[in-house]
Every structure is written in structure tokens, then in C-alpha cells.
Homo-oligomer: A and B are copies of this chain.
């Protein structure tokens, strides 16, 4: 049955992006194919309306390309399997969609195709408080989960800022402010349920959906690790078993201003070397602090600043705070503001988390792009100092630096006027150059945003020819028709 209306095929400007061994999808969907989608998920759960497709055709980044040809909302995993099998049989690309809060164009429909919006599957399926684990469907966001857990004494700490879906966070190997203490999604996903491109159902760690799993395993190849961070290019994640953590007995947050970028980052390195188990360790530059003061009504010094948070027993916290304060003072830190109360802490972290949105709010009409390099901690001072210089030299003066410096990961948030092609070129050149600097320091071009559309060349430079060839082989093996989120990563 040829569901594609051959006569209406149009050439896609993006077909060059599809990966080796894949079939090139070159056209819009036939009415027959759309009807077949409706037969799977029901009429109200399929849309080909331009506004809906447009909404699903981009994330929060600058990346833009054509929208998907249709958007579908499956209600359960069986429907996802049937959708995948249908697309597979007809060679139609599939783009998984969660909250659309990605920053590297991961949901762009490079070759058109069907966008599968998984947010209607939003059950928190099982909570196992004894084993600190939970099973969530792809529509559950991190804030929803933590709200659900609020009286359990447990929480899920991975926090990329946006209220992203947890399965989307697994797909992109998200991390964020708590990773220095609690790890990234790589460390906190126990098991994934994945619909493979042809509709088969894979559980990466066990043959069934598990309420919990062992804390470690040496059984066969690490499939969970392979799918975490695969950015939707190998399959659709339809549920995730996550590791939860005990809510700390006490929490203290603090800010500390420094005379220079170097002094702030030197403090960071020394805090880590002293094995202080800091939970969050964030850097904001002077420009960013100025914006935070204005947007979040703070009165912090306009200077390079560390945001810190400590988790533990009251007694342990006192010791951590004391050690940290000594280290920061040795480096010229001043204007300590320790926040013990939840409200004051929330205000501080809201300011940090709103960095992206605050900046856009203060710059009407502008878009933003965030770099995402991560380097060994010892190389942080030199790359941050250099980056500040280059931001000035590139005349990207509205731009700010924020970062999870405890991991060596930092972002330059670059403002772009979408009508200024020359500025866009400068932003792109700056970001690529920064990526190459990170690689030269044995770092990575992406600590947490992923490769998506924009960093495929840098990935090549990062992992080398054999690394790329190996990744391509894995892609072709698991997605032989090249239908899963084509044009991303590779």
C-alpha cells in the first residue's frame, strides 16, 4: 500500500542531512498516510495545522528549519509502537518531542516527517520509596515529579533549569546545577523503555518495565548508557526508571563576589580539591549579575560571583560552610550572603535559573544562543578569562557568562538580533571558536545541551574519524533506514 502521494512529493532542501544508509524522505505526507496516523491515535490527536507544525518545528534555540509535516499525540506505548511501525514501513522520518525546551535544535524537522509529541503520556507510574526509584512516562516534567515527591522525603536532583520532561532529559543527557554532587542523567537513569524505529519494544536493562532495578549491573552491554544522550536518533523513549535521592536534612545557599574571574574560578578548583561535597557551584559574570539584580530584584555586587549550595546534616553543613568561606576569603571573595531560609534560597536560585529568560526579557526582539563547552577544572580559569576578552573583541557586549563551574561546564549566552545576518555570523563564529578552544584543552564542545543540529562538525573534531565512524555504525545498526530524528548528532 503506497500511502505516500507520489505526485505531490517536493524536494526537501534538507535531504542532504540524512545519515549514511538512510532513505531520503523528500515530501509532504499523503492524505492516506495522515488517515493512517489518525487510525492509530484517534482523529483529535493528529494535526497538520500550520501553526501546530510551526510550534513543533523548533526549540528554544536559534536553529530553524522546516516544520514537521504532521504532529501526533499518542496516548500510550502501544500507539507509539504502531506509529513507529507505520512510519518505518513507509520510510517517513520521526521526530520525538517533549517540552521543546532544548537548546541545540534537536526537534527541528530537518527532513519533515512526523513529530511524535509524547506529552499526553504523563503518568508517574510507580514510586518505590524503599529503593529510591520511580518510573515516569515521557510527559512527566522534573517539576511535576518533584511536586509529586514532596511528602516522600525523596527528590530527583537533576535540574537543567527549564522544566523539561524527564525522558527528554534522558534523551539529551541533561545535567544542570546539581550535577556536581548528584551526577547527570547518565548517572540517574536505571532503565529505559524504548520503542525502536521498527516498532519493537526494548527495555535497556530488564525485559519488562520495572518499578525498580539493581543499583549496579555487569550484565551485557550498557544499553541504558547508549540511549541516554542519543537525542532521539536511535529510538523513542517511552518510560524511564529514575534513581531518587533522599531530601537533605538541611540546605544552605550562598553567594560570594570576587575581584576577578580568575579569583572566582580558583576558589572553585580549591573547594573541589578540598573534597567539600558542594551540591551546587555556579558562576555568573558581572554582566549577568547586573541583569539578575534588575530582573530578580536582588542587590548583589556587580562582580564575578559564585552561587553555592550545600546539602547535608546541620552539623556537616556548618563545617562545609566554614571551609568554603575560608577558601573564598583566601581568594579575595567578599559580600558573602548566606541564605538558610527556603524563601531566600528560592529567590537566589530563581535569579540564577531565570538568567536565560531574564536576558531575553531585557532585550526585546532578540533571540539568544547559548554555548556549552566543558573543560577539565584546571583549565577553567584560562578559558573563562580568555572568553571574557573574546566576547568584548567580538562586539557581543550584551552577552553573559553563567556556568556550572563545579563541573567545568559554562555557557556564554549570546544575544542575537534575528534581522542582523552579520551579527548571526559573528555569534556562530564565536561559538565555534570557543568549542575548538575547549577541545584544545581536552574538553568537550557540549557538556549538557547535546550536539543536535549545530555541533556536528565539532563532534567530528572531538571524537576523531574512528569515533565518528563507530557512532555512524551504531546509528545504522539501530536505525537502518535513518528515520529517527534525521540530521541530528551525526
Residues of A350-375 contacting chain B, CB below 8 A? 372, 374-375
Contact A462 B219 (CB under 8 A): yes
A247 to chain B minimum Cβ distance, whole angstroms, is 9
A side interface size, CB within 8 A: 97
Which of B131, B217, B226, B378 interacts with A128 by CB under 8 Å?
Answer: B378
Residue of B nearest to A444 (CB): B217
Task: Tell me which of A33-41, A312-320, A421-429 binds B.
Answer: A312-320
Q: In the assembly, what is the distance between CA of A201 and CA of B205, in Å?
A: 29
- Asked if A220 is at the interface (CB within 8 A of a chain B CB), the reply is yes
Query: Which residues from chain B contact A220 at a C-beta distance below 8 Å?
Result: 229, 451, 459, 462-463, 467, 471, 489-490
Residues of chain B contacted by A273 (CB below 8 angstroms): 130, 132, 246
Which of A8-16, A110-118, A179-187, A338-346 faces chain B?
A179-187
Q: Return the chain B residue nearest A201 by Cβ.
A: B466
Contact of A297 with B by CB under 8 A: no
The closest CB in chain B to the CB of A230 belongs to B221
B residues near A84, Cβ cutoff 8 Å: none
A191: shortest Cβ distance to chain B, in Å? 9
CA distance A229 to B374 in the complex (A): 26
Chain B neighbourhood of A173, CB < 8 A: 217-218, 222
Q: Is the CB of B445 within 8 A of A207?
A: no
CA gap between A107 and B447 in the complex, in Å = 37
Q: Mark A202-227, 1 if CB is under 8 A from B, else 0.
A: 11111110111111111111110110
Q: Mark A450-484, 1 if CB is under 8 A from B, else 0.
A: 11000100110111111100110111111000000
State whether A442 touches B206 (Cβ < 8 A). Answer: yes
What residues of B have a CB within 8 angstroms of the CB of A407 in the complex? 214-216
In the complex, A216→B461 CA distance in Å?
17
Partner of A222, one of B228, B443, B447, B473: B228
Query: In the assembled complex, which residues on chain B have CB atoms less than 8 Å from the CB atom of A228?
Result: 222
Q: Which residues from B are CB-within-8-Å of A210?
A: 442
- B residues in contact with A316, CB < 8 Å: 315-316, 319
Please pick, from B448, B455, B464, the residue contacting A207 in the complex, using a CB distance under 8 A: B464
Judged by a CB distance under 8 angstroms, whether A100 is at the interface is no
Do residues A221 and B226 form an inter-chain contact, with CB atoms below 8 A?
Answer: yes
Contact between B471 and A214 (Cβ–Cβ < 8 Å)? Answer: no
Please give the distance in Å from A80's CB to the nearest CB on chain B: 15
Residues of B within 8 Å of A128, CB to CB, are 376, 378
Q: A202: which B residues are within 8 A, CB to CB? A: 466-467, 470
In the complex the two chains form, is A130's CB within 8 Å of B444's CB?
Answer: no
Whether B375 lies near A214 (C-beta < 8 A) is: yes
**Contacting residues, chain B, for A249 (C-beta < 8 A):** 275
| C-alpha spacing A212/B376, complex, angstroms | 7
Of B214, B222, B473, the residue contacting A478 (CB under 8 A) is B473
Query: Mind listing 12 A-B residue pairs with CB under 8 Å?
Result: A128-B376, A173-B222, A186-B225, A208-B464, A213-B443, A216-B409, A219-B445, A222-B222, A222-B228, A226-B226, A315-B316, A315-B319
With A203-B467, A220-B489 known, 5 other A-B pairs at CB within 8 A are A196-B470, A215-B407, A219-B463, A221-B471, A222-B225
Chain A residues with a Cβ under 8 A of chain B: 128, 130-133, 172-175, 179, 183-184, 186-187, 196, 200-208, 210-223, 225-226, 228-230, 245-246, 248-249, 269, 273-275, 277, 313, 315-316, 319, 372, 374-378, 407-409, 438-439, 442-451, 455, 458-459, 461-467, 470-471, 473-478, 489-490
